[in-house]
Amino acid sequence: MPGKAAVKTPTPPPIYAVRKQQVVLDSDLAEMYGVETKRLNAAVRRNDAKFPLAFCFELTQQEFAALRSQNASLKPGRGEHRKYLPLVFSEHGALMAATVLKSDQAVQMSLYLIKAFVRMRDEMLASKTILKRVAEIDRRLLEHDVVLQELIARIQPLLDAPPVEDTESKKPRIGYHKGNR
């Protein structure tokens, strides 16, 4: 876009597992979107209807302590001077947060996230198509396997040597043999 500076795509924030969900801390998301944590949280609180529990929730004191004790990537002192416990965002909540923020970086990141999700969905559809094709090939191979086994069963008697009969041993042998002198 003319007149607008290009916003560099930041590195993705660390993802944590809390309440059987993969989430991102509000401070990491705010840094990624180029806003202060308190601005992000204020925007979320103003738009609380857009953030159900599946999208965003506040950590309990025990959950926050567990994150700090279990993850070396969570810097000591992070959140100690906070008035509130941190919010965490699922992937849908992170996308929704980008839509309620006004920064250029948040707008760019929301576009980036949407493109990433579309690409991921396309790749999943492509892999689904490939899996269907592999299943069809597998089904055909099983059918061919049955047909080949039937064919081998019918041809096998023709390939086996004929049984030896007693009449053959009574026939005189032709040619030079030790017993013919």
pLDDT at site 137:
92
Q: Which residues contact 33 (CB under 8 A, 6 or more apart)?
A: 40, 97, 98, 101, 103, 105, 106, 109
User: Would you call 39 exposed, middle or buried from its count of C-beta atoms within 10 A (0-12, 13-18, 19+)?
Assistant: middle
Q: What is the pLDDT of residue 55?
A: 92
Average pLDDT, the chain: 79
pLDDT of residue 79: 47
10-residue stretch averages of pLDDT, the chain, 181 residues long: 54 79 87 88 92 92 83 52 82 87 80 73 85 91 90 85 62 66 54
Per-residue 3-state assignment (H helix, E strand, C coil) for 33-62: HCCCHHHHHHHHHHCHHHCCCCCEEECCHH
Per the structure block, which two tokens stand in for 94?
């992170």
How far is CA 164 from its chain centroid? 64
What does the longest C-alpha to C-alpha distance in the chain come to? Answer: 120
d(CA 30, CA 153): 71
The tally of CA atoms less than 13 A away on the side-chain side of residue 171 is 8
Torsion angle, alpha carbons of 168, 174, 178, 181, to 10: 120
Give pLDDT tens digits for 44-97.
Answer: 999 999 999 999 999 999 998 888 776 655 555 444 556 778 999 988 898 889
Question: Cβ of 7: how many Cβ atoms within 10 Å?
Answer: 16
